[in-house]
Amino acid sequence: MNWKKNDLVEVTIEDMSEDGEGIGRAEGYTLFIKDAVIGDRVQAKIMKMKKTYGFARLVEVLGASESRVKPLCPVSGPCGGCQLQSLSYERQLAFKEEKVRGQLRRIGGFENPPVEAVIGMEQPWGYRNKAQFPIGRSKDGRIIAGFYAGRTHSIIETPRCFLGDPVNEKVLKIVVDWMEAYGIAPYEESGHRGLVRHVLIRVGEEIGDGRQVMVCLVINGKRLPHKEELVQALRTLPGMTTISFNINTENTNVILGREVRHLYGDGYITETIAGLRYRISPQSFFQVNPEQTGKLYDVALAYAGLTGRETVWDLYCGTGTITLFLARQAKWVRGVEVIPSAVEDARENARANGITNASFYLGRAEEVLPRFYEEEKERADVIVVDPPRKGCDTALLDTILAMGPERVVYVSCNPASLARDLKYLCAGEYELVRVQPVDMFAQTVGVETVVMLSHKKR
Ligand code: SAH
């Protein structure tokens, strides 16, 4: 290969990577090009080279693909939040289906996985109920809010994110104005100095004058100066339901610290999905796309195949969202979750929805389930898992194999760890029966997948 760094090349994009980069070949050398979409003919500049492949930057689209669309957001290029805004939504769905199939093949070793067409969104914008904006300073010293540029921690100032609720912009303006007015410093990662790190905003269902709004400032300190003034200013926004701050004094990339202090309201907002009402606290996990969440849980419920007689375990249950869906059609459901406030929310959610056949346990799934199995000879007809990106611990998978429920329903936000875990379970007594991707994250490369595994001998 005769290329070198900074060379300009012309390539046709023939494929897309899992991260959404266009893939093309220049005289046989494979290049990954961000913001280039399948079918494009582009000019690109080689930025970084490895032996068998390299990365290039898109310079100009010479011939636009039929799947190329104009991004809605002016900072869709530099911002690390979206990767697929230049790709038509229809094509995004095809990309996600292929991503799931590809991982199941490559990592899972399933030759022909039964992947259904992705369940798409009706309106692929403005769907997110949660946003976490880092706060920092511009080069000229102004306080700014925005999102991190891809793979970095430099903040791209974004007055508005098109995936989120319009109220975000208003909240950020109030917070930034308040910081400027009272000389409150944004956090600086390099020197671990300054106070305000992030602004977490969540919106819930409509009650009264609009969607409920939660604001939580993440601060590098234990005290928030001029908090009354902040609360007063935020309360002018319709729907403002709860205001709090979260203490994170660690030198870390993790956004939230452990402790939350409430400044206004009851500390939570609510969302209703398929007739079940859930309360959401700043620290609890809750799916970011409520419209698609209902569809996702419907699939999970259908795959669980409940008749009312089953004992079900829902591992990684968060605030008990899936648990309560299952409880309506099972004999008993046990949820396991590691975050204490989420378990409290889960119990409260069960109570508030009149559900009496669900119980919740605080702890790691890979410790709680083995303990119940070994000490109490606990059995299960159906086990549902919905782990974070890294997937399930082997100790948990081993216990599932030992318990041998009739069906396992695996809900996953990461096809790679999903494929790895399915391979493990299917090397045991399980068979991969159905795979349904659901689009919860339009414009991004994220894809949620629900899988049904069935025990071969039951
Ligand atoms: N099923 C829920 C939450 C899924 S997100 C829903 O649909 O809303 C994954 C959840 O797993 C998070 O709430 C996270 O706090 C929890 N978690 C992470 N590691 C865990 C572990 N080892 N054991 C139990 N729960 C864990």
pLDDT at 341 over 90: no
User: What is the model's pLDDT at position 284?
Assistant: 86
How many Å lie between the centroid of ligand 1 and the Cα of residue 48?
37
Token pair 């944004």 in the structure block, residue: 186
Map the chain to HEC letters. Answer: CCCCCCCEEEEEEEEECCCCCEEEEECCEEEEECCCCCCCEEEEEEEEECCCEEEEEEEEEEECCCCECCCCCCCCCCECCCCCCCECHHHHHHHHHHHHHHHHHHCCCCCCCCECCCECCCCCCCCCCEEEEEEEECCCCCEEEEEEECCCCCEEECCCCCCCCCHHHHHHHHHHHHHHHHCCCECECCCCECCEEEEEEEEEEECCCCEEEEEEEEECCCCCCCHHHHHHHHCCCCCEEEEEEEECCCCCCCCCCCEEEEEECCCCEEEEECCEEEEECCCCCCCCCHHHHHHHHHHHHHHHCCCCCCEEEEECCCCCHHHHHHHCCCCEEEEEECCHHHHHHHHHHHHHCCCCCEEEEECCHHHHHHHHHHHHCCCCCEEEECCCCCCCCHHHHHHHHHHCCCEEEEEECCHHHHHHHHHHHHHCCEEEEEEEEECCCCCCCCCEEEEEEEECCC
Pair of tokens at residue 289: 């796309």
User: What is the model's pLDDT at position 158?
Assistant: 86
* Ligand 1 shell residues, CB under 6 Å: 285-287, 316-318, 321-322, 336-339, 342, 364-366, 386, 388
How many Å lie between the centroid of ligand 1 and the Cα of residue 64?
42
Q: Which of 255, 297, 317 to mutate to test the pocket of ligand 1 (most atoms within 8 A of CB)?
A: 317
pLDDT at 375 over 90: yes
pLDDT at 140 over 80: yes
User: What is the model's pLDDT at position 1?
Assistant: 67
If we measure between CA atoms, which residue out of 185, 174, 258 comes closest to residue 215?
Answer: 174
Q: Which of 130, 337, 345 to mutate to test the pocket of ligand 1 (most atoms within 8 A of CB)?
A: 337
Going by pLDDT thresholds of 50, 70 and 90, the confidence category of residue 77 is confident
Output the residue whose Cα is nearest ligand 1's atom 10. 316
How confident is the model over 163-189, as pLDDT tens digits? Answer: 999 999 999 999 999 999 999 999 999
User: What is the model's pLDDT at position 2?
Assistant: 83
User: What is the model's pLDDT at position 266?
Assistant: 93
Pick the atom of ligand 1 nearest to 296's CA.
7
Pair of tokens at residue 401: 């194999």
How many Å lie between the centroid of ligand 1 and the Cα of residue 206?
26
Q: Which of 79, 161, 216, 413 is the catalytic position?
A: 413
Pick the atom of ligand 1 nearest to 336's CA.
24
Output the residue whose Cα is nearest ligand 1's atom 23. 364
pLDDT at 444 over 80: yes
Mean pLDDT of the chain: 95
How confident is the model over 190-244, as pLDDT tens digits? Answer: 899 999 999 999 999 998 878 999 999 999 999 999 999 999 999 999 999 999 9
Q: 193, 182 in Cβ contact below 8 A?
A: no
User: What is the model's pLDDT at position 150?
Assistant: 79
pLDDT at 101 over 90: yes
Output the residue whose Cα is nearest ligand 1's atom 12. 318
How many Å lie between the centroid of ligand 1 and the Cα of residue 313?
13
Q: Could you tell me the maximum CA-CA distance found in the chain, to the nearest angstrom?
A: 69
User: What is the model's pLDDT at position 179?
Assistant: 98
Q: 46, 3 in Cβ contact below 8 A?
A: yes
Going by pLDDT thresholds of 50, 70 and 90, the confidence category of residue 153 is confident
How many Å lie between the centroid of ligand 1 and the Cα of residue 315?
7
Output the residue whose Cα is nearest ligand 1's atom 16. 316
Say whether 413 is catalytic. yes
Output the residue whose Cα is nearest ligand 1's atom 13. 318
How many Å lie between the centroid of ligand 1 and the Cα of residue 49?
38
pLDDT at 428 over 80: yes
> Global pTM?
0.92
pLDDT at 64 over 70: yes
Pick the atom of ligand 1 nearest to 284's CA.
13
Give the rounded distance of the alpha carbon of 236 from its chain centre: 30
